[in-house]
Amino acid sequence: MLAKTIAELSRALRGGELSSVELTRAYLDRIERLNPDLNAYITVCGEQALAQAEDADRRLAAGDTSPVCGIPLAHKDIFCTEGVTTSCGSRMLANFVSPYDATVVEKFNAAGAVTLGKTNMDEFAMGSSNETSYFGPVKNPWDTGRVPGGSSGGSAAAVAADLCAMATGTDTGGSIRQPAAFCGVTGLKPSYGRVSRWGMIAFASSLDQAGPICKSAQDAAIMLNVMAGLDERDSTSVDLTVPDYTASLDQSLEGLRIGIPRQHFAEGLNADVEQAIRAALQEFEKLGATLVDIDLPNNELSISAYYVVAPAEASANLSRFDGVRYGYRCDNPLDLEDMYKRTRSEGFGDEVKRRILVGTYALSAGFYDAYYRKAQQIRRLIKQDFLDAFKQVDVIVGPTSPHAAFQLGAKSDPVAMYLEDIYTIAVNLAGLPAISIPSGQSNGLPVGMHIVAGDFEEARLLNVAHQFQRATDWHSRKPSLSGEDAK
């Protein structure tokens, strides 16, 4: 039952095969049994979840038509949730209880979804392995000696291990897509502005975007129908009509032009991963698509540009955490300056401090033009590369990550960790939508395929991903946990 998709569970709830309360209890029991090892959840909201499930059962009995009504989900612990701790995976906010809900949380509550809890994450979403969390690393359900990816690793691991039916995540440079690839689930980063950022604690404001993590492209379409839309409280929210993302899932891929970037099949790509992606591309050809070689000439500059822009914005956004208004405060400060210094040095972890220092330096007098302005100019070149490519093709396909999930503790060098997002970061700099879906395995670990579309073309992305998943079964393969058989 817990391995079913949102679409399957929704049909079962409406058909009276089970109740939301029964489903929620089953997930809570599984969380209690498996989470101590996986560490996917920071906070579990058992009583609240059962109360929401009871309400959902009443709504279902009254004929509620919301596809997520009664469906249990988890929120990444970067979304504010009223009355529930929102920690961002940091000591700085370990005691912060939000007085309001983020827009994304509001929308799922209004649609009748059941919140099981808050998932673990890299501190303030800064990381690619979920090892920077103050609450300890998340373990990959496929191999608990390996990372789940980051920063939304808790959400991806929870979905992969059937600790929830769906989860929210955020993506600043690949933080939905890379953990989705490592955990063998589906993760969608929408276009910048498609989903409200209000109540989502900011890392890099021009890059952050909320999105769904789930078991299939169909489920991602269901979730995006809930999440997308204008929010007047968010100045970055775009006023565009939101289509029904489930309506175009079954369209044929006959005539689809798929761009294959030369830069994504070069040195550094694991041979097993390349083989899996090449095999997936052959499946697309069987479905009627045409493959076109393309260039993204400035892709190699994306890491350098990102690690100027993102830390610069982080240094500004995280300046609010000073021990004065909320969050952690050091003990017995001597004076105001001592409180600021000790609160921030004690409250933030090493990776967050590192990025604050880099960002503050890049924005400082004398270096702004040399670094930050230059990075923004490179960002424009990267966007233009995509615009030129989409004159030739409909979508762009490649690997999500150069390799499958790596061992916990294997990458102690920060620069090596930054290179983990070599294929995903450019999409955030350009503000485009992209999705990662399972497309093979390497030594028994999932391999993710990365699909990119033009601005606000999430419907096309979901259609392409869904048609691939109809033709293959990679997305339905499960890790073996606690002696359970993989299915």
| pLDDT tens digits along 81-126 | 999 999 999 999 999 999 999 999 999 999 999 999 999 999 999 9
Average pLDDT on 292-319 reads 96
pLDDT beyond 50 at 151: yes
- Mean pLDDT for the stretch of residues 218-242: 97
Question: Which among 19, 20, 66, 76 is annotated as catalytic?
Answer: 76
Structural domain span for residue 407? 6-256+392-476
Distance CA 121, CA 110 (A): 25
Active-site residue, from 87, 152, 175, 216 = 175
Q: Is the pLDDT of residue 7 over 80?
A: yes
Beta strands 41-44 and 114-119 are: antiparallel
Q: How confident is the model at residue 486 (pLDDT cuts 50, 70, 90)?
A: very low
Whether 273 is covered by a domain: the verdict is: no
Within a domain: 354: no
User: Over pLDDT 90: what percentage of the chain?
Assistant: 96
* Whole-number pLDDT of residue 349: 97
Quick one: average pLDDT of 381-397?
98
Look at residue 487 in the predicted model and tell me its pLDDT: 37
- Is residue 152 in a domain? yes
- Given this model, what pLDDT does residue 365 score? 86
Q: What is the pTM of this model?
A: 0.96
For this structure, is 151 an active site residue? yes
pLDDT at 366: 86
Q: How many structural domains compose the chain?
A: 1
User: Would residue 237 show up in a list of annotated catalytic residues for this protein?
Assistant: no
Residue 169, classed as helix, strand or coil, is strand
The answer to the question of residue 347 being in a domain is: no
The mean pLDDT value of the chain amounts to: 96
| Residue burial 377-406, b: 16+ Cβ < 10 Å; e: rest | ebbeebbebbeebbeebbbbbbbbbbbbbb
pLDDT for residue 481: 80
Residue 217 — very low, low, confident or very high, per pLDDT cuts 50/70/90?
Answer: very high
Mean per-residue pLDDT, 9-28: 97
Band (pLDDT 50/70/90 cuts) for residue 455 is very high
In a domain, 262, yes or no: no
The catalytically annotated residue of 19, 151, 302, 439 is 151
Q: Please indicate, yes or no, if residue 272 is contained in any of the structural domains.
A: no
Q: Are the C-beta atoms of 464 and 451 separated by less than 8 Å?
A: yes
Report percent pLDDT > 70 for the chain: 99
User: What's the chain's Rg over C-alpha atoms?
Assistant: 21
Is residue 207 in a domain? Answer: yes
- Residue 476 annotated among the catalytic residues of the structure: no
State the average pLDDT over residues 406-426.
Answer: 93
What residues contact 158, with CB distance under 8 A and at least 6 apart?
Answer: 38, 40, 41, 74, 119, 164, 167
pLDDT tens sequence across 332-381 = 999 999 999 999 999 999 999 999 999 999 999 889 999 999 999 999 99
pLDDT classification of 484: cutoffs 50, 70, 90: low
Burial of 473 (0-12, 13-18, 19+ CB in 10 A): exposed
Crossing angle for the helix pair 46-61 and 20-38, nearest 10 degrees? Answer: 150
Is residue 402 within 8 A of residue 273, CB to CB? The reply is yes
Q: Per-residue pLDDT averaged across 304-319, rounded?
A: 96
Give mean pLDDT, residues 414-419.
90
- State the CATH number of the domain containing residue 65: 3.90.1300.10
Q: Residue range 130-152: average pLDDT? A: 98
Residue 235 domain-assigned (yes or no): yes
